[in-house]
Amino acid sequence: MGDMGIVVIVGGHGKIARLAGPMLRAAGHTPIGLVRNPVQAADLVSARIVPQVLDLERAGAAQFARMLRDRQATAVVFAAGSGAEASEYRQDRVDRAGAVLSAEAAQLAGVRRLVQISTLGADSVADGATPDYPPEFVSYLRAKWAAEQDLRARDLDWTILRPAALTDGPATGRVILADRVANHPVPRADVAAVLVRLLGDPASFGGVLELCADDEDGDGGPDGG
Ligand SMILES: NC(=O)c1ccc[n+]([C@@H]2O[C@H](COP(=O)([O-])OP(=O)(O)OC[C@H]3O[C@@H](n4cnc5c(N)ncnc54)[C@H](OP(=O)(O)O)[C@@H]3O)[C@@H](O)[C@H]2O)c1
């Protein structure tokens, strides 16, 4: 992606997305954020993100791809999420199917760059394993793992980013980005900054990167959101 990319953020009203908006602008990109509720458009404008209405659960891949072409998108970021209280049904619809749809649409539109926000622990359900977590967290991990598996199989310049449990604290700039990290909760603002950096980094193509705070004392658990 060049310096002046047009970055379509799926889950445009999400907390990470809105933190990333000004950072993307500062890096010379134009962020476009997808929302399913037009009322959220004003919040996006405040975050310097161009709003675009598109409901992941209603749009087909062709419609999504047409929008990407019309907007001349150069990258897609999957930052949507079903939320902490979601049913297994919605986890499947948003966390898995929404991510799959985004990748499918990117491919159809010829947009090669895609960064998918997954979660730490997604691979703990690999090969049908059932880790010792609450059932609603296991089903969330299964949806995220399925989305990762779908993306890995695609001919795209993808990167999978697996943050630890998210917090709303200020950015610290002190993070660990590596193949394996501990679950030290990480501020969304730090995730947004890493996301923006990864977008333009070809070394991260085809990579699965875990992210946590560089915090020896942190030991918080994932919140399932
Ligand atoms: N919470 C954690 O500790 C944690 C840890 C690791 C990774 N993650 C992942 O981090 C990512 C971003 O987290 P966040 O906290 O920034 O997210 P967030 O604030 O919960 O935002 C998620 C966004 O997804 C949108 N969305 C849901 N269903 C949609 C649909 N059908 N069509 C379009 N948009 C839809 C929501 O829009 P509405 O307002 O319309 O619902 C919301 O704006 C997610 O992928 C999450 O799974 C979370």
> Could you read off the pLDDT of 18-27 as tens digits, one per residue?
999 999 999 9
Length of the chain measured in residues: 225
Pocket lining: 94 vs ligand 1, CB cutoff 6 Å: yes
pLDDT at 222: 45
Q: How many CA atoms lie within 13 A of 199 on its CB side?
A: 31
The pLDDT-based confidence of 216 (bands split at 50, 70, 90) is low
Provide the pLDDT for residue 215: 77
Residue nearest to atom 36 of ligand 1 (CA): 11
- Render pLDDT for 144-171 as a digit per residue (tens, 0 to 9): 999 999 999 999 999 999 999 999 999 9
Percent of the chain with pLDDT over 90: 93
Question: Whose C-alpha lies nearest to ligand 1, atom 34?
Answer: 11
Q: In the β-sheet with 75-78, what is the strand arrangement from edge to edge?
A: 50-53, 30-35, 6-10, 75-78, 113-117, 157-163, 207-213, 175-178
Neighbours of 121 (CB within 10 A): 22
Task: Give yes or no for residue 16 CB within 6 A of ligand 1.
Answer: yes
pTM of full prediction above 0.85: yes
Say yes or no to pLDDT of 33 above 90.
Answer: yes
pLDDT tens per residue, range 67-104: 999 999 999 999 999 998 999 999 999 999 999 999 99
